[in-house]
Amino acid sequence: MGDFFKGFGAVFYKETLHVRRDSATLFFSLVIPILQMVVLGFGIDTNIRHINTVVYNADKTQVSRDLIDRMTNSDTFHIVRYVENDRDLTNAIVAGEAKVGFKIPVDYSDRLLHGRSAQVLVLIDGSDSSVAGQAINVTTSIGLDESLRRLLGANPKFAVEMRPKILFNPDSRSPNFFLPGLMAVLLLNVTTFLTAFSIVREKEWGTLEQLFVTPVRPMGLLLGKLIPYLGIGFFELVMIMSCMRFVFQVPVHGDVILLGLFSIPYIFVSLSTGILISSKASTQAQAMQLAFLTVLPTIFFSGYIFPRETMPFIFRMLSYCVPATYFINITRGIILRGAGMQYLWPDALVLLGMGSLLLVIAARRFHNKVIMA
Amino acid sequence: MPTNGNNGSELAVSAEGLVRRFGDFTAVNEVSFRIKKGEIFGFLGPNGSGKTTVIKMLTGLLPLSGGEATVEGLNVRTQAEEVREHIGYMSQNFSLYNDLTVFENLTFYGRIYSLSPERLKRRMAEIVELNGFEPYLNRLAAQLSGGWKQRLALGCAMLHEPQLLFLDEPTAGIDPVARRQLWDLLFELSAHGITFFVTTHYMDEAERCNHVAYIYFSKLIADGTPEELKKIPEVQPPGTKRIEIDTSEVTRALRLARTIAGIRSATIFGQSIHALVAEDIDLSSLRLQLQKEGIAVNDIRPLAPSLEDVFVELTEKHRATAEVAGG
């Protein structure tokens, strides 16, 4: 069995030397992801707040101003301008100045005073569906609330009262949700690219050809190349985690050690992907293009940005083939929900299986396409 | 049936009817040759003729489509892994890691062949001594000149004391001094019983080999010592012989020689003229003819064809038969 991994030690020795010599690559592969994390972490906010709003208040009474105050106090709407006619209201939305327009008609307070139903026109720019949805929800519930208060008095007792309690991430902070996912994406990039390059470079140098005429076995060669980059990937993980915890103040509810442990199978998958890429590509430029192919599915199908539950069936099935899907389950589980081993081991197991399968395929492809060619 | 590399056989390599097909294309067609231990075997042929494929088959990288081969007494079909333990290989681009030092390159190859730390240390000292690497041990391979790179590559390939070395165009792109030094080293090592399988495009290098084979369009068309090959009847067109005219006035002698009946062709070769002449030409009357024109002839002697002549003749003959066979 030892024979199967023959040459591992030698390749490992050599590969760590390459890594040490090539400090530029190392620097970029470790520092750039942190930069990306900082930019994306501060830049992305999925909570819809402060929607630009124009108001045409034809009523101009205390009652209508109270309604406007309630809208702004909801934190959802941010009033950019008051207009004085219907045309300006519509134009503000067409021009993109605002996404929502309120029109409170002249008889608003009058009708309420006489116990009749009053209408408020809400114009919504539907081009961004999540903004539109949020605007509809908030205005509807404010309208409902307002109506109930008027029917039941100042301190109403509702027959049914919903009391939501948000268990994790109670402030709905975006970084808490995004960064554990971003971790998976960044880790994938670094490790896949590094391994793919390290092998394709040897093709370009002609040293790979030489290695095949030595007693090194493909598995020894591949693992020897893989393990140093596993180390780098792990170091990267620690840096990303520290950045998340201390720069973005994302609380970690679960066991950090477990997260470290379960990230190993994920890094292993990314590295095997890199090796598979290198069995196909013969130049570093080709390797780069192939590696980019893995980036988009990771971003779009893993649940990193779009919830997998709302995906069409086919894409949801596809998401099961994306390694990051499982790792994001793990990171969000541990970091946000404090989930333990008993809930997450299936994800880790799938990753381990994927990694082994990819490595075997890569080793075979290596044998058939690279050595025999 | 020998199972390890230390059998008593006189042969380092034995190839019998090697065939390798890639789909419809036959890259190596019924190639047979035997290399004795301690020989320097020159393997020649134009690019794409199947040289590399033969090396890949003998090193166990490519399965044989037909035929049998043993390397150092090991069957390449069944003992490919052992074969690779017993051979050294140096590719034409020297395959060094440019960002590793001389010492690190050697250490890497030592570990690849699982040398024990003591043996690695001893072999490293021997290789360093043999090649004079001492001052360069901590220099990056990238900073070495072509000749030094090639010596380092050879050192790496020899670290595990293989008895058979495959050198794929070992002198491509290096300067003449380094080329000469390499060949001196090869002779020295072959005197110690090490066998070399060398591919080259240089005819002067082929002349230095103990044993030469020429592969052309997947087929071996010549196999023997350089002397044997030069005596092949086909090399000499019927009714002709080669002579060398040693004279101090080569240019004038050449112009004159071309007018003399019986001389088929003539070229200047340094301080002499090489000519292909009719077999029945009288050498003393030829000398007289030249002297009559006032040319000092130091000597006229029969000349064996060069290896280049041999390969040119064989290639043309083979091409002609291939065309006949192909219709």
> Is A210 in the B-facing interface, judged by CB distances under 8 Å?
yes
The reply to whether residue A17 touches residue B112, judged by beta carbons under 8 angstroms, is: no
The token pair at B97 is 């890691």
Is the confidence at residue B6, as pLDDT, over 80? no
Is residue B26 classed exposed, middle or buried when 0-12, 13-18 and 19+ CB atoms within 10 A define those classes?
Answer: middle
**Per-residue confidence at B35, pLDDT binned at 50, 70, 90?**
very high
Distances (CA, A) of B40 to B37, B151, B166, B253, B285: 9, 18, 10, 39, 43
Measured between alpha carbons, how far is A156 from A252 in angstroms, rounded to an integer?
Answer: 40
Cβ contacts of A157 within 8 Å, gap of 6 or more: none
**Planar angle of CA A260, A201, A322, nearest 5 degrees:** 40
Per-residue pLDDT reduced to its tens digit, B155-178: 999 999 999 999 988 888 788 888
Cβ contacts of B44 within 8 Å, gap of 6 or more: B51, B199, B200, B201, B206, B212, B213, B214, B215, B311
> Is A369 in the B-facing interface, judged by CB distances under 8 Å?
no
Of A179, A200, A359, A178, nearest to A270 by C-alpha is A359
The predicted structure's pLDDT at residue B325 = 62
Ranges in chain A, pLDDT < 70: 1-2, 154, 156, 369-373
Is the confidence at residue B21, as pLDDT, over 50? yes
> Is A221 in the B-facing interface, judged by CB distances under 8 Å?
no
Task: Return the beta strands (E) in chain B as ranges.
Answer: 11-22, 25-36, 40-44, 66-71, 74-75, 87-90, 164-168, 195-199, 211-216, 219-224, 240-247, 263-269, 272-278, 297-302
The predicted structure's pLDDT at residue B1 = 40
Judging contacts by C-beta atoms under 8 Å, the chain A residues touching residue B107 are 13
Judging contacts by C-beta atoms under 8 Å, the chain A residues touching residue B91 are 206, 209-210
B37 CA to chain A: closest CA distance, Å? 20
* Amino acid identity for residue B45 in this structure: G
The reply to whether residue A213 touches residue B107, judged by beta carbons under 8 angstroms, is: no
Measured between alpha carbons, how far is A91 from A98 in angstroms, rounded to an integer?
Answer: 9
Measured between alpha carbons, how far is A330 from A337 in angstroms, rounded to an integer?
Answer: 10
The reply to whether residue B104 touches residue A9, judged by beta carbons under 8 angstroms, is: no
Q: Minimal Cα distance from B109: which residue of A? A: A10
Cβ contacts of A136 within 8 Å, gap of 6 or more: A122, A124
Judging contacts by C-beta atoms under 8 Å, the chain A residues touching residue B166 are 213
A234 CA to chain B: closest CA distance, Å? 24
Q: Minimal Cα distance from B154: which residue of A? A: A210
B308 in Cβ contact with B203 (< 8 Å):
yes
Measured between alpha carbons, how far is A164 from B212 in angstroms, rounded to an integer?
Answer: 89
A106 in Cβ contact with A59 (< 8 Å):
yes
> Is A128 in the B-facing interface, judged by CB distances under 8 Å?
no
Per-residue pLDDT reduced to its tens digit, B209-232: 999 999 998 999 889 999 888 888
The reply to whether residue A372 touches residue B62, judged by beta carbons under 8 angstroms, is: yes
Measured between alpha carbons, how far is B28 from B41 in angstroms, rounded to an integer?
Answer: 18
Q: Minimal Cα distance from A205: which residue of B? A: B95
In the block, tokens 């077999």 appear at B279
The token pair at B283 is 């050498």
The reply to whether residue A14 touches residue B89, judged by beta carbons under 8 angstroms, is: no
B95 CA to chain A: closest CA distance, Å? 4
**Per-residue confidence at B123, pLDDT binned at 50, 70, 90?**
very high
Determine the distance from the C-alpha atom of residue B225 to the mean position of all C-alpha atoms in its chain, rounded to a whole number. Answer: 11
B146 CA to chain A: closest CA distance, Å? 15
B11 CA to chain A: closest CA distance, Å? 21
Measured between alpha carbons, how far is B14 from B34 in angstroms, rounded to an integer?
Answer: 4
B286 in Cβ contact with B325 (< 8 Å):
no
- Between A82 and B303, where is the model more confident? A82
> Is A368 in the B-facing interface, judged by CB distances under 8 Å?
no
> Is A201 in the B-facing interface, judged by CB distances under 8 Å?
no
β-pairing, B40-44 with B211-216?
parallel
Interface test with B, best of A17, A210, A371 (most B CBs within 10 A): A210
Distances (CA, A) of A249 to A187, A194, A243: 20, 30, 9
Is the confidence at residue B33, as pLDDT, over 80? yes
Per-residue pLDDT reduced to its tens digit, B141-159: 999 988 899 889 999 999 9
Measured between alpha carbons, how far is B110 from A327 in angstroms, rounded to an integer?
Answer: 40
The reply to whether residue A371 touches residue B61, judged by beta carbons under 8 angstroms, is: yes
Q: Which residues of B touch A (CB under 8 A)?
A: 59, 61-62, 81, 84-85, 87, 89-91, 93, 95-100, 104, 107-114, 166
Measured between alpha carbons, how far is A123 from A99 in angstroms, rounded to an integer?
Answer: 8
Measured between alpha carbons, how far is B300 from B306 in angstroms, rounded to an integer?
Answer: 17
3-state secondary structure of B244: strand
Distances (CA, A) of B206 to A300, A355, B183, B213, B311: 62, 50, 11, 9, 11
The predicted structure's pLDDT at residue B197 = 96
The token pair at A294 is 């893995």
Judging contacts by C-beta atoms under 8 Å, the chain B residues touching residue A372 are 61-62
Percent residues over pLDDT 70 in chain B:
96
Give the pTM: 0.77
Q: In chain A, which among 149-168 make CB contacts under 8 A with chain B? A: none
A205-214, A255-264, B284-293, B296-305, range with greatest mean pLDDT? A255-264
Which residue in B93, B95, B111 is closest to A10 by CB distance?
Answer: B111
> Is A216 in the B-facing interface, judged by CB distances under 8 Å?
yes
Q: What are phi and psi of B19, to 5 degrees?
A: -130, 135
In the block, tokens 């060619």 appear at A373
Query: How many C-beta atoms surround the C-beta of residue A69 within 10 A?
Result: 10
DSSP state of B104: H
The reply to whether residue B91 touches residue A17, judged by beta carbons under 8 angstroms, is: no
Per-residue pLDDT reduced to its tens digit, B233-283: 777 777 888 888 888 888 888 888 888 888 888 888 888 888 888 888 888
- The full 3-state SS of chain A, as one line of letters, equals CHHHHCCHHHHHHHHHHHHHHCHHHHHHHHHHHHHHHHHHHHHCCCCCCCEEEEEEECCCCHHHHHHHHHHHHCCCEEEEEECCCHHHHHHHHHCCCCCEEEEECCCHHHHHHCCCCCCCEEEECCCCHHHHHHHHHHHHHHHHHHHHHHHHCCCCCCCCCCCCCCCCCCCCCHHHHHHHHHHHHHHHHHHHHHHHHHHHHHHHHCHHHHHHCCCCCHHHHHHHHHHHHHHHHHHHHHHHHHHHHHHCCCCCCCCHHHHHHHHHHHHHHHHHHHHHHHHHCCCHHHHHHHHHHHHHHHHHHCCCCCCHHHCCHHHHHHHCCCHHHHHHHHHHHHHHHCCCHHHHHHHHHHHHHHHHHHHHHHHHHHHHHHHCC
B183 CA to chain A: closest CA distance, Å? 22
The reply to whether residue A14 touches residue B97, judged by beta carbons under 8 angstroms, is: yes
Measured between alpha carbons, how far is B134 from B130 in angstroms, rounded to an integer?
Answer: 10
Contacts of range A138-143, beta carbons closer than 8 Å, 24 or more positions apart: A138/A71, A138/A74, A138/A76, A138/A77, A139/A71, A142/A67, A142/A70, A142/A71, A142/A74
